[in-house]
Amino acid sequence: MTELKRNSQTRMIGIASVIWAASIFLSRVMGLVREQIVGRTLGASRQADLYFASFTLPDFLNYLLAAGALSIVFIPIFLSHLQRGDERRAWISFSVIANFILLVGTVGIAVLMALGRPLAELVAPGITDPTDIDALVRLTRIILPAQFFHVVGGLLSAALQAQNLHALPALAPLVYSAGIIIGGLIGAYYPQLGAEGFAWGVLVGSIAGPFALPLYGCIKSNMRWLPLISFNDPDLRRYLWLSLPIMIGFSIVIVDEWIVKNQASYLAPGTLAYLQYGRTLMKVPIGMFGMAVGVASYPTISELVTAGAIVKAYALLCRAVRLTLLLTFAAQVCLTIAGFEAVYLIWGLSAHRFSLSDAQETATVLTFLCLGLSGWAAQTLISRGFYALGSTWLPTLIGTVIAAAMTPVYVALRLRGGAMGLAVASSAAIIIYVMVLGWLQRRRFEREAIARGTTLEGSQGMLRVALRLAMSAVVATGLGLLARIQLLQWLPDANAMTVIGRATLLCMLGIGLYWGMAHLFRVGEIAEIQAVLLRKIRPAQAPDTPHQDS
């Protein structure tokens, strides 16, 4: 029976992983299309800087409402009632928490709307032109109400995920991106709109995607959203207790982008856009390999912890992190040695407002941002290990301390290295955060295991594999960059076919070198990936059956 349950859990995680991997991959692809339209419409200009800076205050409100952690905090609460068969109590908890968020969110939006101008000057202190500040305030006020729909929609999505209903929550970000794309295309058709076309697309997309789709799904699953407000409800208190560190703490995971935007406002017009375009490219593998696995595995990890299976929960978490690192280091190699080609194909090819030099600047920034790529992907999983244990304070506390300690480093490196300095500071901060968090997580799970009469002794952790993969990536990147120099002499042109050919050859070479080095360093996850691929190719054949053709 235990084996059947384990197989069922594996199948559920597999199905959820496929759904979320497809969703996040398509979302990142659509995000690239969206940013491509931004780049080709606004270029690397001050207007692009203003558009990207206009998200800071809305993101701040989103953060204060703990929107990014809604599923992480709410799923265990909702799931605990469902596991006891008390669906009515589950929806009462949902109603009390949702209504509280509605109340607080409405007040927050009103306050930020009223204080738009002074806060805009705080967000981007390097932007001093009154016309630019007016434009920044206008864009911010258009985007702010979108957070209302993101936050409430996030709670609706969490309720669906707790019931293992992933399709509509996974579709929501695609509809959101489509809204921005449509708004941007309208803005491109009517040049007087400019960045405002994208901003209105953000608002409409947030209504249609993150809010409307999960709402429809919840209604179909017999949602009972009751008009209840109870500040004494135990689930609301639990929700606030778990969310409070996320609301009041300023972890490096969140404030990194705010600090970068703040400091980039002091640099030349277009620099903030370079950093944002580079970050957009970096987010593709982070979403595919980090967020997808994290979102899909978290309910099962949480369920194992609730059942007291600490060793199994930690083993599942570590395995997910190791596989994520294996894939993201490969992506890091590709984006480093073929970054210019990727940037040029997306933003520069046949573009009028994004020049060859803009592509080179963005690719250079991307190289240094990618130093932290695997760290960004890993933290999405490692933090969920703490959340599954009901510990939201420690990750936020560590992240806040690192953010405070690293802020002077951002400033110093911006003064010395401009955009590249900010990219290095960002990567260093997330690597430090992940290393500290991973070490503390092992200790926390060990204590939990001992308290239940078991131990993690013999369990394979994360650090050893991470170091081996990092060394593999360094060697592959170094050799790949040397090969790039020679390849540029053979294929120097900037037409589409040549650039695509260069990118393909460089990525194939980089991945081959990386894979070979990982084999040499005896990274066990290589064999796991190969086994998975073989099972996909031969689904009817049992995993331990010998290959008949060999």
Least trusted range by pLDDT, from 155-159, 202-206, 293-297? 293-297
Cα distance between residue 110 and residue 99, in whole Å: 17
Q: Residue 514 — very low, low, confident or very high, per pLDDT cuts 50/70/90?
A: very high
pTM over 0.85: no
Contact indicator for 359, 401 with CB cutoff of 8 Å: no
Contact indicator for 369, 282 with CB cutoff of 8 Å: yes
pLDDT at 269 over 50: yes
What are the extents of the domains in the chain? 45-248
Q: How large is the average pLDDT for residues 277-305?
A: 80
Q: Please state, for a pLDDT cut of 70, what percent of the chain lies above it.
A: 88
Residue 65 CA: distances (Å) to CA of 32, 155, 233, 380: 27, 11, 18, 19
Cα distance between residue 48 and residue 224, in whole Å: 43
pLDDT for position 87: 80
* Secondary structure in 3-state letters for 199-247: HHHHHHHHHHHHHHHHHHHHHHCCCCCCCCCCCCCHHHHHHHHHHHHHH
Which of 16-30, 104-118, 472-486 ranks highest by mean pLDDT?
472-486
pLDDT for position 194: 80
**pLDDT tens per residue across span 103-127:** 888 898 999 999 988 998 888 999 8
Q: CB within 8 A of 137, min separation 6: which ones?
A: 116, 117, 120
CB atoms within 10 A of CB 240: 15
Q: How large is the average pLDDT for residues 42-67?
A: 85
Contact indicator for 37, 185 with CB cutoff of 8 Å: yes
Q: How large is the average pLDDT for residues 155-178?
A: 83
Element spanning 394, H or E: helix 393-451
Q: How large is the average pLDDT for residues 462-466?
A: 84
Q: Using alpha carbons only, what angle is made at residue 372 by residues 366 and 376, rounded to the nearest 5 degrees? A: 115
Q: CB within 8 A of 84, min separation 6: which ones?
A: none
**pLDDT tens per residue across span 4-14:** 444 455 555 55
pLDDT for position 30: 81
**Residue 43 Rama label (left phi>0; alpha psi -120 to 50; beta):** left
**Residue 164 Rama label (left phi>0; alpha psi -120 to 50; beta):** left
**pLDDT tens per residue across span 143-163:** 999 988 988 888 888 888 777
Q: Please state, for a pLDDT cut of 90, what percent of the chain lies above it.
A: 38
Q: How large is the average pLDDT for residues 440-445?
A: 89
What one-letter code names the amino acid at 38?
V
